[in-house]
């Protein structure tokens, strides 16, 4: 009977899975009353659905773009109605799982707290998730500001930095065009045939190195150095984002310099 009802809701109402379980045969939210007279709706009113013992397997921001397995950005999933109570629209989705229920259920913070018998844990988890989203937004704004500053800044000719033969360090030499910004030092240098080399270094840690490519113009080399600097800034460890492994010295962040154009 339950399978027939699920099929009916999927075919005629467009619902399936947990969303279908929360509706009756007419597609309306299920309702029932607790012993104390309180009204419960959705999957809370469905017999056989576990009331507790759930855990959160994942948090999702329904307004954020998704990234597929190939790294391609996809449109946001979009806000949904909590599948447990079938009453509230939610942006921050707690994906709940249970040993005795086949499918994951996507719910809001309030229902998640009841499902895992720990309202404080659900609130803390959502608050931490929101803080992480805000930290990432601030970091992206910082990166954008850094890029604007790098593109707008004037490079100077110094007589104090260049590259050694293997590119593992930047050493003193004459004629380098240099830009120092936000703790990074970028340099480009002319070589035989009118070509250009590029390098970047984080001054405090010494991380960085020379590009393996030779660039046709100074502008192209500068752009490559700026892109490498932004890559380093994005991948630098941030203690506030959780435990991350300590970076190795050298070209740890510079595995993908932009190639020279033909």
Per DSSP, 177 falls in state E
- The H or E element containing residue 114 is helix 109-115
| 83 shares its domain with 125 | yes
Integer Cα distance of 79 and 114 in angstroms: 21
Long-range contacts of 64-69, Cβ-Cβ distance < 8 Å, separation of 24 or more: 64/133
| 40 shares its domain with 130 | yes
| 125 shares its domain with 169 | no
Residue 187 in contact with residue 209, Cβ under 8 Å? no
| 64 shares its domain with 111 | yes
| 106 shares its domain with 191 | no
The range of the structural domain enclosing residue 202 comes to 153-241
pLDDT confidence of residue 247 = 37
Q: Is residue 184 part of a domain?
A: yes
pLDDT confidence of residue 91 = 96
Which residue matches tokens 């447990």?
84
Is 0.85 topped by the overall pTM?
A: no
| 71 shares its domain with 157 | no
pLDDT confidence of residue 158 = 66
Q: Is residue 142 part of a domain?
A: no
Residue 219: burial class (beta carbons within 10 Å; 0-12, 13-18, 19+): exposed
pLDDT confidence of residue 122 = 95
pLDDT confidence of residue 261 = 60
pLDDT confidence of residue 231 = 85
> What are the helix and strand counts (H, E) for the chain?
5, 16
Q: Is residue 260 part of a domain?
A: no
pLDDT confidence of residue 131 = 94
| 25 shares its domain with 115 | yes
| 108 shares its domain with 214 | no
Q: Is residue 63 part of a domain?
A: yes
| 124 shares its domain with 162 | no
Q: Is residue 114 part of a domain?
A: yes
What are the per-10-residue average pLDDT scores of the chain (262 residues)? 35 45 51 48 87 94 87 88 92 95 94 95 96 88 83 74 52 69 85 88 83 89 88 62 34 52 55
When divided into structural domains, the chain yields a total of 2
| 130 shares its domain with 180 | no
For 197, the token pair is 């080399």
| 115 shares its domain with 55 | yes
pLDDT confidence of residue 81 = 94
Q: Under DSSP, is residue 257 helix (H, G, I), strand (E, B) or coil?
A: coil
pLDDT confidence of residue 194 = 86
């Amino acid at each position: 009977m339950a399978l027939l009802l699920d099929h009916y809701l999927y075919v005629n109402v467009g619902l399936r899975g947990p969303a279908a379980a929360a509706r009756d045969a007419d597609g309306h939210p299920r309702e029932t009353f607790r012993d104390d007279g309180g009204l419960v709706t959705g999957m809370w009113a469905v017999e056989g659905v576990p009331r507790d013992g759930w855990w959160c397997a994942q948090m999702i921001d329904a307004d954020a773009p998704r990234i597929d397995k190939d790294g391609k950005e996809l449109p946001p999933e979009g806000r949904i109605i909590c599948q447990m109570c079938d009453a509230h629209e939610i942006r921050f989705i707690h994906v709940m799982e249970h040993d005795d229920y086949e499918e994951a259920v996507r719910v809001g913070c309030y229902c998640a707290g009841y499902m895992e018998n720990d309202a404080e844990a659900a609130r803390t988890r959502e608050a931490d998730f929101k803080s992480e989203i805000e930290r990432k937004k601030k970091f992206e704004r910082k990166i954008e500001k850094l890029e604007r500053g790098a593109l707008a800044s004037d490079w100077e000719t110094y007589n104090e930095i260049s590259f050694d033969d293997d590119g593992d360090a930047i050493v003193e030499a004459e004629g380098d065009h240099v830009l120092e910004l936000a703790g990074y030092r970028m340099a480009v240098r002319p070589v035989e045939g009118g070509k250009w080399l590029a390098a970047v270094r984080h001054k405090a840690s010494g991380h960085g190195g020379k590009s393996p490519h030779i660039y046709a113009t100074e502008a192209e080399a500068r752009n490559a150095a700026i892109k490498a600097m932004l890559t380093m800034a994005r991948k630098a460890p941030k203690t506030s984002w959780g435990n991350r492994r300590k970076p190795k010295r050298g070209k740890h962040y510079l595995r993908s310099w932009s190639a020279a154009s033909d």
